[in-house]
Structure 1
Amino acid sequence: MKKILVPVDFSKYSEYALEVASKIAKQHGAGIVLLHMIGVSDSVLANSEIAEEAEAKYYLNQAKEKIKQYTEKEYMKEIPLEAIIQNYKDFKEVNTVAQEQHCDLVVMGSHGTSGFSDLFVGSNTEKVVRSSELPVLVIKKQQRDFTINKMVLACDLKKENIPIYKKAETFAALFSASLEIVYVNASGGNFMGRDNVEKRIELFKKELNKEINVNLYDHYSVERGILDYCFKKGADLLVIPTHGRKGLSHFVVGSLAENVSNHAELPVMTIKL
């Protein structure tokens, strides 16, 4: 791993993400790219009127000062660091910056519903997840002792998830962590008999051409079953595939039942199919 991109909005959640990114960077000798998107309208940037020009400079200077405060954090010492302040038009630009900077991972903070709460509108974590070609590690609370010993990949065991497993396996090796797959068999229209599930498991192993640990977990809800399984197994990181359509919200939105909502604060890595 050479570079980690950390989009920041200067909220406590983006600082949680930066602290985790710093720990990963130190473990693997990687650098960090800080990205802040100021969101000043094109009319302000293009207009030469004194008041509007002053407004643009104000936002830019504020961002530079806050970026500087981040770089001076104790946990950022001895980490190669670059800072990019960019006026955003579309959240796909996060992926563009990640590609241009040759990053290997995006680490970002989210409070679970609207992501970058202070500056942007909507579920922006989800927008980044949808568009990112890189794995995205989502951090939802402060991780003072961030370690990954056990990773759980939740998927439906279809052939398209083979590359997802291989990428997750690469990250597991990077963190010296164990990796297991869980298939949640939810009650309802998509419920499958155990024999059919076991056939799907065997087909997945055959396509992968490797003997792996796959667990079947019966639950009334796929989303809640995934989180419940991770809690019972003591998982440090949940990995889920995304098609670039449903993104993250399908699994970890704040509307989950109270009995598993605390466990939804588990770090989540999304990998695009």
Structure 2
Amino acid sequence: MKKILVPTDFSKEAEQALKVAAQLAKKHDSEIFLLHMLELPLDQVDALSQYSELPEAMFFMKLAHQKFEKTMAQDYLQDIIVHETVDFNQTFTGITNTCKEHDIDLIVMGSHGANGFKEMFIGSNTEKVVRTAEVPVLVIKNEHENFEINDFVFASDFKNDNKGTYIQAVKLALALDAKIHLLFVNTANNFVTTDTAKGRILDFIAGNDFKNYTISIYNDDSVEKGILNFSHVVGADLIGISTHGRQGIAHFFNGSISEDLVNHAKRPVVTFKI
């Protein structure tokens, strides 16, 4: 976890995400890439030299740099290498490009927490970010004076096409020194026996030598409720879920989990692209 990307609009929610990223950066000696997107109608502009012909672009660029200066002066960023970046792409495109250009390990984003993923601080673009991001996306919804993750719920249907996401989850758990709670939620419409569910989980993690985990089968009315209720029972600090890039946030676990999970979850949520 050496390079952390934090998209920002300089809102309170974005600052909450930046504070968490700062704590992670200090713990892991990471660099932070603080990215602000200016979504201006620049389709006709091909070169940086032409920005001078767009007074609106220059005005918002100067305003962004002023806000950057104020942010960079915060005490919680002391002794951290922070790269200030302003881009004129659409948000999800800019984030994707930045991840590739700088080999980003983790994206940390803030959320208003009121209306689900589609209404996060960068609006509906957040769904596109999660859908296109090849690296884990950590969504922060509250202030965290001390961001410590001891119990990490990884919820899945534990099918083979999700195995890559578990590898990512293990890497994150090792970095956070956290226990993973492998969670399979049983519902009336998609019921499997406990033996079958446990067997599927054991097959899923076979070959991985990570040992700090538990296996849980939890029954509930829906997968969303099961994840939230189980996370409450174990006092989880973080919820991890997989996303299908081809289908977007509204189709977790092959369509069985909606964005309501993140909408109602009070805990941080991290997504891993399948």
Alignment of 1:21-32 (within 5 A): 21-32=21-32
Per-residue deviation at 1:19?
A: 0.4
Q: Does 1:201 align with 2:201?
A: yes
Give the equivalent residue in structure 2 for 1:125.
126
Give the equivalent residue in structure 2 for 1:7.
7
Structure 1: 5+ residue stretches without partners: none
Give the equivalent residue in structure 2 for 1:41.
41
Q: Cα gap change, 1:46/1:100 in structure 2, threshold over 3 Å: closer, same or farther?
A: closer
Alignment of 1:142-161 (within 5 A): 142-161=143-162
Question: 1:37-91: per-residue Cα shift (whole Å, max 9, x none)?
Answer: 0111116857999997221111111111111111111101110011110011361
Alignment of 1:156-235 (within 5 A): 156-188=157-189, 190-206=190-206, 208=208, 213-235=214-236
TM-score (norm 2): 0.86
Q: Distance in 1 between matches of 2:98 and 2:161?
A: 27
- Please give the secondary structure, in 2, of the residue aligned with 1:156: coil
Q: Cα gap change, 1:111/1:91 in structure 2, threshold over 3 Å: closer, same or farther?
A: same
Q: Are 2:38 and 2:90, in contact at CA under 8 Å, matched by a contact in 1? A: no
Per-residue deviation at 1:148?
A: 0.7
Q: Are 2:51 and 2:58, in contact at CA under 8 Å, matched by a contact in 1? A: no
Q: Cα gap change, 1:215/1:116 in structure 2, threshold over 3 Å: closer, same or farther?
A: closer
Q: Distance in 2 between matches of 1:53 and 1:92?
A: 21
Q: Distance in 1 between matches of 2:93 and 2:46?
A: 22
Question: 1:156-209: per-residue Cα shift (whole Å, max 9, x none)?
Answer: 011222222222111111111111200001122x22233432342343344657
Tell me how many residue pairs correspond in the alignment.
264
Q: Report the residue type matching 1:5 in the other structure.
A: L
Q: Are 2:170 and 2:210, in contact at CA under 8 Å, matched by a contact in 1? A: no
Question: 1:198-234: per-residue Cα shift (whole Å, max 9, x none)?
Answer: 3423433446577752210001100111111111111
Give the equivalent residue in structure 1 for 2:86.
85
Q: Distance in 2 between matches of 1:206 and 1:73?
A: 45
CA-atom RMSD in angstroms: 2.8
- Please give the secondary structure, in 1, of the residue aligned with 2:89: coil
Give the equivalent residue in structure 1 for 2:60.
59
Per-residue deviation at 1:252?
A: 6.8
- Please give the secondary structure, in 2, of the residue aligned with 1:143: coil
Q: Cα gap change, 1:43/1:93 in structure 2, threshold over 3 Å: closer, same or farther?
A: closer
TM-score (norm 1): 0.86
Structure 2: 5+ residue stretches without partners: none
Identity %: 38
- Please give the secondary structure, in 2, of the residue aligned with 1:181: strand
Q: Distance in 2 between matches of 1:199 and 1:116?
A: 37
Q: Are 1:11 and 1:116, in contact at CA under 8 Å, matched by a contact in 2? A: no
Q: Distance in 2 between matches of 1:98 and 1:229?
A: 33
